[in-house]
């Protein structure tokens, strides 16, 4: 239901329909009071200033950056800095102005910049972004770093990785692009995410080494077990928010991103526990699990694994660059077969 | 005959810039405008004030007694090392370390010794050819003439090679560097000029096929640059760029000036060698990394597009920041690169400040506070104060192409010569 509303909302915003207003209430009203197109011509720099002020006035977060990113995108660049000064002083064409007004009006409705311009960078990749598929966060770039370092050290070529909850495919595509011998399975409960992961894999030419499946690991564990052969590594950025925190999220997240990719249940551990339950049945001896989690989670996970983790051992907690405990590493220690 | 040889050298010259240094070239020690041949193009350099330095030809250097003394000394040294190694016996007191030092010395000197021997051989050949020239047979004489020409050319090449091998190696002959530009005196005008100089080096990198990756980029309101840095890599990039470090001065009527008065503004160029991970390590514990995500819960709780990263090196207080990229990880990598270069250059500066005190062409280090070049727009000239050379056409110079390359090559040549003369002087002092 939520997703349908979102998709509808996305379409409506462009049309400034009354229907959006009814659905979004107060914020929807704001979105509809978009400024009129300018009568004369304006330059890119003037447009940056104009929209920065508009965003500021309407309480949109990161007003200046949003304005700069959208205009840079319009002019075919990633950042304003990478454009020549001369280009920024030239007048925008009518078409460019029209398109800019459309894009910025979407931002006024609090749509994340990443969805407005339809792409964002993750490590050295530029990935397609599309609502409601979860937008990868910078912390996940570090998760990939951790996994990459270990994969290069621990596994030879030809290992297979399983990613649970692939979203836009950021983790899987990054790993596959960095390690040309690697293969991967990627799962997501959302068909939109599965489609987007495929598109991003295609973009970087790793589609032949990636199998993407629309599977919900909580509801359909058997499908997962039947599907994957032996995988050396399980990696996931699962939904880890505590349900009670969902209401305090910024409008960009709350209104546009798939809640199923964020809400981890009462203690944020719903999907995590499911992954840790299945891991010993999927991973070989010494196979590892890498998770991105909430900073409150590592001790809870360690505790849970000691009671319910079977052969799974908690190895280590790593912090993100801001110093928050963010990544958990676990390892399967299968009991040694009896020696005759 | 002499003309023929000269032509040959010119041809050689046009084959590659690498040979420039050791080719015959019109001298600069003239008080009138001089013309220098730089491969593809002919440029006029005007000598603004009496030249402090003279660019010597290979012949002139080989005519010096000190050079021959030095070469003899080197050969003797080589021979001694060889003897020391071959005469070694198990019970010898010579330590393992001494031996290793001698072996290293041998392998270092080998190319030079080889060239000296080849040169000697060529001189012998030359003498034989001279004999043939006295023959009566016309055909034989013509043949000898040809051979002599070839010999002369080989001698010239070998001499040049020997000089090149003699030039003391810089401790840091790396190919990667971080370029830093910072606006100096002159407010907005200085920042506008800083942007132009930064673009000039972007052009210079492109001209040489080097990569130019912007790390920091802090603009002013009027489109100028307060500060910027870029990582440059490619063959010879450090070798060339190190001559660009120092204070660059601009003299013109700024766009912002209403009364048409001429202003003088400055900007500073720093060229920092980029250390490898192995040669220079930073303790992660000494770093504080700031991002916009530092406050609050981070992770899935927050969606931001501000991926700027600022890294502080706590023991020194040195800061690097990057906001060029949309990926936070990329920004962190770039900021780290800038920081490493800054810290490394601080360390190098400490070590080398004593070594290059007497040198006029301040090699990359001390030059940072020294005024090296003036760009005068009204007179349409650029003057390099280290070598007192003036070249015209500021607009073309700022493209970072031939004009800058020529100026830069000249600096390189004079610096090489300076280093060589220093070496010969030291060597002859030791003799006495």
Catalytic residue among A63, A238, A239, A298: A238
Q: Does B195 sit within 8 Å of A141, measured CB to CB?
A: no
Catalytic residue among A237, A239, A256, A332: A237
Closest among B217, B241, B221 to B229, alpha carbons compared: B217
Q: Let me know whether B293 and B393 are in one domain.
A: no
Q: Let me know whether B262 and B318 are in one domain.
A: no
Q: Which pLDDT score, from 0 to 100, does residue A118 have? A: 97
Q: Let me know whether B270 and B187 are in one domain.
A: yes
Residue B39 resides in a domain: no
Output the DSSP codes for B180-236.
Answer: EEEE-SSHHHHHHHHHHHHHHHHHHHHHHT-EEEEEEEEE-TTS-EEEEEEEEESTT
pLDDT tens profile B302-324: 999 999 999 999 999 999 999 88
Q: Does A241 sit within 8 Å of B300, measured CB to CB?
A: yes
Q: Let me know whether B115 and B152 are in one domain.
A: yes
pLDDT over 90 percentage in chain B: 30
Q: Let me know whether B195 and B241 are in one domain.
A: yes
pLDDT tens profile B85-121: 777 665 556 677 778 888 888 888 888 888 889 989 9
**φ, ψ for residue B217, nearest 5 deg:** -155, 95
pLDDT tens profile B337-393: 899 888 988 887 776 655 554 444 444 444 456 788 999 999 999 999 888 889 999
Considering only CB atoms, which residues of chain B are within 8 Å of chain A?
Answer: 195, 214, 217, 219, 223, 289, 291, 293-294, 297-307, 309, 324-330, 332
Q: Let me know whether B253 and B381 are in one domain.
A: yes
Entry pTM = 0.70
Range of the domain at B162: 58-84+95-166
Q: Which pLDDT score, from 0 to 100, does residue B54 have? A: 67
Q: Which pLDDT score, from 0 to 100, does residue B93 have? A: 60
ipTM of the complex: 0.85
Judge whether A294 is closer than 8 Å to chain B, CB to CB: yes
Q: Which of B294, B299, B305 has its CB closest to that of A69?
A: B305
What residues of chain A score a pLDDT lower than 50?
Answer: 1-32, 339-340
Q: Let me know whether B80 and B162 are in one domain.
A: yes
Q: Let me know whether B132 and B107 are in one domain.
A: yes
Q: Which pLDDT score, from 0 to 100, does residue B21 have? A: 35
Q: Let me know whether B67 and B146 are in one domain.
A: yes
Q: Which pLDDT score, from 0 to 100, does residue A223 have? A: 85
Q: Does A142 sit within 8 Å of B329, measured CB to CB?
A: yes
**Is residue A238 among the annotated active site residues?**
yes
Residue B19 resides in a domain: no
Residue B3 resides in a domain: no
- Residues of chain B neighbouring A326 (CB-CB closer than 8 A): 298-299
Residue B69 resides in a domain: yes
Q: Let me know whether B76 and B151 are in one domain.
A: yes
Domain boundaries, chain A: 44-109, 123-332
Comparing alpha-carbon positions, the chain A residue that sits nearest to B213 is: A82
For residue A133, give both structure tokens: 């598929």
Taking the CA of residue B239 and the nearest CA in chain A, the distance in Å comes to: 27
Q: Which pLDDT score, from 0 to 100, does residue B11 have? A: 36
CATH of domain A123-332: 3.40.50.150
Distance CA B106, CA A258 (A): 70
Q: Let me know whether B152 and B64 are in one domain.
A: yes
Q: Which pLDDT score, from 0 to 100, does residue B89 have? A: 60
Pick from B296, B300, B326 the residue to mutate for testing the A interface (most A CBs within 10 Å): B300
Q: Which pLDDT score, from 0 to 100, does residue B131 have? A: 84
CATH of the domain at B258: 3.30.70.1660
Q: Which pLDDT score, from 0 to 100, does residue A117 have? A: 97
Residue B141 burial by Cβ neighbours in a 10 Å radius (0-12, 13-18, 19+):
middle
Of B166, B198, B218, the domain-final residue: B166
- What's the structural domain count of chain B? 3
Comparing alpha-carbon positions, the chain A residue that sits nearest to B291 is: A322
Q: Which pLDDT score, from 0 to 100, does residue B431 have? A: 62
Q: Taking a C-beta distance cutoff of 8 angstroms, is the pair B166, B141 a contact?
A: no
Which residues have a Cβ under 8 Å from the Cβ of A47 and sit 6 or more positions away?
A67, A71, A92, A97, A100
- What average pLDDT is seen over chain B? 79
Residue B215 resides in a domain: yes
pLDDT tens profile B32-88: 333 444 433 344 454 444 344 567 778 888 888 888 888 888 888 888 888 887 776
Q: Let me know whether B248 and B331 are in one domain.
A: no
pLDDT tens profile B226-244: 999 999 998 888 889 989 9
Taking the CA of residue A320 and the nearest CA in chain B, the distance in Å comes to: 9
Residue B17 resides in a domain: no
Q: Does B307 sit within 8 Å of A240, measured CB to CB?
A: no
Catalytic residue among A122, A134, A185, A256: A134
Judge whether A247 is closer than 8 Å to chain B, CB to CB: no
| A188: three-class secondary structure by DSSP | strand
């Amino acid at each position: 239901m939520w997703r349908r509303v979102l998709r509808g909302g996305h379409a409506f915003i462009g049309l400034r329909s009354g229907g959006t207003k009814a659905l979004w209430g107060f914020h929807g009203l704001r979105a509809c009071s978009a400024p009129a197109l300018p009568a004369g011509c304006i330059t890119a720099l003037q447009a940056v200033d104009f929209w920065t002020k508009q965003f500021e006035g309407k309480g949109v977060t990161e007003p200046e950056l949003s304005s700069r990113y959208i205009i840079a995108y319009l002019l075919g660049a990633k950042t304003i800095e990478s454009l020549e000064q001369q280009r920024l002083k030239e007048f925008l064409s009518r078409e460019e102005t029209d398109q800019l007004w459309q894009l910025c009006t979407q931002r006024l409705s609090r749509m994340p910049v990443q969805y407005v311009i339809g792409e964002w960078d993750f490590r050295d990749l530029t990935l397609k972004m599309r609502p409601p598929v979860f937008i990868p966060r910078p912390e996940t770039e570090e998760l990939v770093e951790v996994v990459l370092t270990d994969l290069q050290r621990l596994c030879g070529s030809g290992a297979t990785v399983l990613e649970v909850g692939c979203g836009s495919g950021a983790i899987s595509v990054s790993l596959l692009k960095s390690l040309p011998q690697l293969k991967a399975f990627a799962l997501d409960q959302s068909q939109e995410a599965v489609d987007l992961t495929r598109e991003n894999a295609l973009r970087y030419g790793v589609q032949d080494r990636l199998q993407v499946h629309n599977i919900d690991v909580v509801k359909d564990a058997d499908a997962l077990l039947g599907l994957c052969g032996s995988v050396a590594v399980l990696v996931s950025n699962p939904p880890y928010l505590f349900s009670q925190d969902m209401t305090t999220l910024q409008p960009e997240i709350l209104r546009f991103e798939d809640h199923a990719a964020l809400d981890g249940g009462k203690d944020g551990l719903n999907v995590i526990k499911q992954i840790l339950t299945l891991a010993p049945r999927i991973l070989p001896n010494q196979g590892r699990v890498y998770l991105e989690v909430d900073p409150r989670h590592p001790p809870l996970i360690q505790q849970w694994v000691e009671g319910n983790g079977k052969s799974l051992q908690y190895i280590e907690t790593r912090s993100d660059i801001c110093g928050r405990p963010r990544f958990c590493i676990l390892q399967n220690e299968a009991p040694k077969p009896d020696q005759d | 005959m002499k003309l023929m040889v000269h032509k040959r050298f010119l041809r050689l010259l046009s084959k590659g810039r690498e040979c420039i240094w050791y080719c015959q070239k019109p001298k600069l020690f003239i008080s009138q405008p001089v013309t220098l041949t730089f491969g593809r193009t002919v440029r006029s350099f005007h000598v603004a004030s009496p030249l402090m330095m003279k660019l010597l030809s290979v012949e002139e250097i080989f005519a010096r007694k000190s050079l021959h003394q030095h070469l003899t000394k080197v050969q003797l040294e080589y021979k001694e090392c060889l003897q020391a190694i071959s005469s070694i016996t198990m019970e010898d007191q010579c330590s393992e370390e001494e031996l290793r030092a001698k072996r290293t010395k041998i392998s270092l000197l080998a190319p030079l010794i080889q060239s000296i021997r080849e040169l000697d051989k060529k001189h012998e050949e030359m003498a034989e050819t001279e004999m043939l020239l006295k023959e009566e047979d016309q055909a034989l004489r013509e043949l000898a003439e040809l051979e002599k020409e070839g010999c002369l050319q080989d001698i010239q090449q070998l001499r040049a090679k020997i000089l090149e091998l003699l030039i003391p190696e810089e401790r840091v002959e790396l190919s990667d560097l971080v370029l830093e530009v910072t606006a100096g005196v002159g407010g907005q005008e200085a920042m506008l000029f800083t942007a132009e100089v930064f673009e000039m080096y972007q052009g210079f990198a492109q001209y040489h096929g080097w990569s130019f990756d912007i790390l920091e980029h802090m603009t002013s309101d009027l489109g100028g640059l307060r500060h910027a840095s870029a990582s440059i890599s490619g063959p010879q990039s450090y070798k060339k760029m190190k001559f660009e470090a120092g204070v660059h001065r601009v003299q013109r009527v700024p766009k912002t000036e209403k009364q048409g008065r001429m202003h003088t503004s400055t900007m500073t160029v720093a060229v920092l060698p980029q250390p490898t991970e192995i040669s220079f390590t930073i303790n992660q514990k000494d770093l504080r990394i700031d991002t916009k995500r530092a406050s609050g819960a981070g992770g899935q709780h927050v969606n931001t597009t501000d991926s700027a990263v600022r890294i502080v090196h706590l023991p020194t207080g040195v800061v690097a920041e990057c906001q060029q990229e949309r990926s936070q990880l990329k920004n962190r990598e770039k900021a780290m690169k800038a920081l490493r270069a800054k810290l490394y250059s601080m360390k190098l500066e400490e070590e080398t400040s004593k070594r290059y005190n007497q040198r006029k062409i301040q090699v990359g280090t001390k030059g940072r506070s020294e005024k090296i070049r003036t760009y005068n727009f009204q007179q349409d000239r650029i003057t390099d104060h280290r070598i007192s050379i003036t070249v015209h056409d500021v607009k073309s110079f700022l493209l970072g192409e031939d004009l800058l390359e020529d100026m830069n090559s000249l600096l390189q040549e004079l610096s090489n010569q300076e280093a060589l003369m220093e070496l010969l002087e030291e060597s002859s002092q030791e003799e006495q």
